[in-house]
Amino acid sequence: MKKKVAVYPGSFDPVTFGHLDIIKRASTIFDHLIVSVFVHSAKKHMFSVEERVAMLKTALKGKKNVSVDCFEGLLVDYVKKKKTKVVIRGLRAISDLDYEFQIAAANRTLYPDIETVFFMPRQRYTYLSSSVVRDIAHFSGDVSKLVPPHVVKAIAARRKKDAK
């Protein structure tokens, strides 16, 4: 029987409990889930690709059917390279819907076999995004209820480094 493989792409800058919620639930549906950090060199990130990959690997340690990777370029090319047709995306609010539908439609135009599976986060994470975490951290707010402890430490270290 062929394994069901899905790709969950994102910036994960930084990884949040909302991301981890989707990863946990998607990993129970698919035989293998590839969590892949999208490399977007024109975008200003808090953490490098390598740091984001490392944070994800730490957060997902022990998850046997989940791997962490990164990619640059078109998602459809990456998905084909990984020999799958399934992309996982999160929908927090109705405001995400229009953008995500546009991306899903564009991806299907480029790769007709691709399927996008949308996950709604648990209610307590509907407001949560990496940009919210970055904004709170920028003003020295407490992000400990939003991200794993190792990410809290990484954010504090980054803020300290940036303050110099």
Is residue 65 pLDDT above 90, yes or no? yes
Domain contains 98: yes
* Residue pLDDT, tens place only, 119-154: 998 999 988 999 999 999 999 999 999 999 999 999
81 given a catalytic annotation: no
The separation between CA 125 and the C-alpha centre of its own chain, rounded to angstroms, equals: 14
Q: Which of 11, 19, 27, 82 is labelled catalytic? A: 19
Q: What is the reported pLDDT for 139?
A: 92
Domain contains 51: yes
Q: Which pair of tokens denotes residue 91?
A: 């929908």
Domain contains 66: yes
Domain contains 160: no
pTM (2 d.p.): 0.94
Domain contains 149: no
Beta bridge partners, 39, equal 72
Domain contains 134: no
Q: Which pair of tokens denotes residue 2?
A: 């062929």
Domain contains 152: no
Q: Which residues span the domain enclosing 12?
A: 5-126
What is the domain count for the chain? 1
* Residue pLDDT, tens place only, 25-43: 999 999 999 999 999 877 7
Is residue 83 pLDDT above 90, yes or no? yes
Average pLDDT, stretch 8-22?
Answer: 96
The CATH number covering residue 18 comes to: 3.40.50.620
4 given a catalytic annotation: no
DSSP-H helix ranges across the chain: 17-29, 49-59, 75-81, 94-110, 130-138, 149-163
92 given a catalytic annotation: yes
Is residue 16 pLDDT above 90, yes or no? yes
Q: Which of 2, 43, 61, 164 is labelled catalytic? A: 43
- The pLDDT confidence band at residue 164, using thresholds 50, 70 and 90, is confident
Domain contains 138: no
Cα–Cα distances in angstroms (integers) from residue 108 to residues 93, 105, 113, in the given order:
22, 5, 7
129 given a catalytic annotation: no
Q: Which of 80, 92, 108, 158 is labelled catalytic? A: 92
Q: What is the reported pLDDT for 162?
A: 78
Mean pLDDT of the chain: 93
- The pLDDT confidence band at residue 82, using thresholds 50, 70 and 90, is very high
Q: What is the reported pLDDT for 40?
A: 80
